[in-house]
Amino acid sequence: MSSFLLKNLHVISPADSLDFTGDLRIADGKFAAIGPVLAPEPGDAVCDLAGLTAFPGLVDMHVHLRDPGLTHKEDILTGCAAAAAGGVTAVACMPNTNPVTDSPEVIRYILEKAASAKARVYPVAAITRGMKGEALTDMAALKAAGAVAVSDDGKPVPSARMMAEGMRLARENGLLPISHCEDLDLIHGGIMHKGSVSEELGVPGMDRASEDSVTAREIALAESTGAPVHIAHVSTAGAVALIRLAKRRGLPVTCETAPHYFLLTHELLRKRDADYRMNPPLREESDRKAVLEGVLDGTIDCIITDHAPHAKEEKADFLKAPNGVVGLETSFAASYTALVKPGLLPLSALIRLMSASPARILGIPGGHIRAGDTADLAVADLAREWTVEPEALHSKSKNTVFKGRNLTGKIVLTLKGGEIVYNIL
C-alpha cells in the first residue's frame, strides 16, 4: 500500500482533542504517526499541504444509493464517488431499494458491490418486511449479514405497537432504529410545506403536525420501552423542541438534520422547480431558525444529507416529481458556509457533527485521527470559494438545492484506508 507524509496541515480531530498545525504519516492504510514535525521514511510520498485543513473522513448516516433496482438514479459506485468528492468516507444507505433491503441476500449484495467503492457502505435494513408496516423483519439475520441499523425510511411505521416491538427487537440485536417521522393521513397527498407559498401556488401542503406528531410518538415509545430511537431529517420547530425536552429528561433519543433545513425555506418553491422538493420539505423561516438553534445548542446530534438522487426526467414536472435532493458533494461546504464562516459554530464542532457523532450513534468506526487507526481522511481548502454546478457533480443525478449557489470550503483530497479516492490538489 502507499505511504504518505502530509506536511504542514492544520489537523483537527475533536474526538481526539487534536487541533494543531503539523504532519501526518500514513502507511499500510493507517495513521502511522501524528506530530508537529515528522521526518519522512523510505518510500514516503511527501506532500506539503500548507494552508489546508485535515480532519477525519466524514460519516453520513443517511443516504439513498438506489442500489439494487433503481440504478438509473444512482448506484453504489457512483454514490460513493460523490461521497469521496465531499470528503465523506462512510455512508449508511437506506433500505427503500428494489427489492427492499429486508433480507440477508440484499445486504450481502450491497456489501459485495461496495467492496470496491470509494467510501465505506453500511447497510440500513428495513424495520418491516417490504416496508409495508405489516410484519417485522428478521433482525438477527440482518445484523449477522452486516446491517447496522433499521428503518422504513421514506415512510413511517404506521402502527405504534409495531414500532415499539421493532425498537425492542432492534435493541436486542444491536441495531439502531431510525424513524422517518410522518403521519401520512395528515400529509394527504401534500407535495411541499403547507403554508403561504403552497396556498399561493395552489398545491397541496405537508402540515408540520405530520412530523411533530410522529416525533412525539417515537419519544413516548423510547420512554416506554427504554429502547433508543434516532429521529431522521428533523425539519420543524416543533420536532426540535420535542427532542430538546426528551434529551433534558434523559431519554435515549438522538436526531439529525440536513444543511438545507438550516439554510433554506419554502420561499424557493415559488420557482415551481422540483429540485427544491424533498421530504420533509423546506419549511418556514421560523422552522429554519429553530433547526439552526438545535444545531448550535447540541439538540441535533449530527448533520447528514438524505442524499436522494432522481433522474432529470423524473424531476421535470413540479407537481408529479418524486421528493428528494442530492447532497453528498455539498454538505461540508454548505455547513461550513452557514455555520463556521459567520462565526456561529467552531470548526471543531462542525467536524464532530459530521464525523465522530454519527459514527458513535451508529456504532461504527470513524471520526478519529489516531495512530494505528484506519486512515480515513478529508482535506479541505477552507478559503476556497466555489459555485455549485450540477453537471460537475459525480452523482448520476443532479437534483441539488444548491445549484448556482456560492459556497466556501472545498474538499480537495480524500483518503479511504490510506488510499487516495479523490484528489483535486
pLDDT at 2 over 90: no
Q: Does domain 4-54+373-384+405-423 have CATH number 2.30.40.10?
A: yes
The domain locations on the chain are: 4-54+373-384+405-423, 57-362
**Assigned C-alpha cell, 372:** 494505528
* Residues pairing with 115 in the sheet: none
Second CATH level (architecture) for the domain 57-362: Alpha-Beta Barrel (3.20)
The per-residue pLDDT for 1 is: 74
Query: Pairing mode, if any, of strands 205-206 and 192-193?
Result: parallel
The per-residue pLDDT for 32 is: 97
Buried b (16+ CB within 10 A) or exposed e, 84-104: bbbbbbbbbbbbbbeebbbbb
Tell me the per-residue pLDDT of 24-69, one tens digit each, with 9 for 90 and over. Answer: 999 999 999 999 999 999 999 999 999 999 999 999 999 999 999 9
Tell me the per-residue pLDDT of 137-192, one tens digit each, with 9 for 90 and over. Answer: 999 999 999 999 999 999 999 999 999 999 999 999 999 999 999 999 999 999 99
Q: Rounded distance, CA 413 to CA 154, Å?
A: 32
- Degrees to nearest 5, angle at CA 129 with 125 and 132: 110
Is 306 in the active site? yes
| The residue to which cell 411533530 is assigned | 212
Q: Rounded distance, CA 317 to CA 41, Å?
A: 58
**Assigned C-alpha cell, 417:** 484506508
List the catalytic residue out of 306, 317, 376, 381.
306
pTM flag (> 0.85): yes
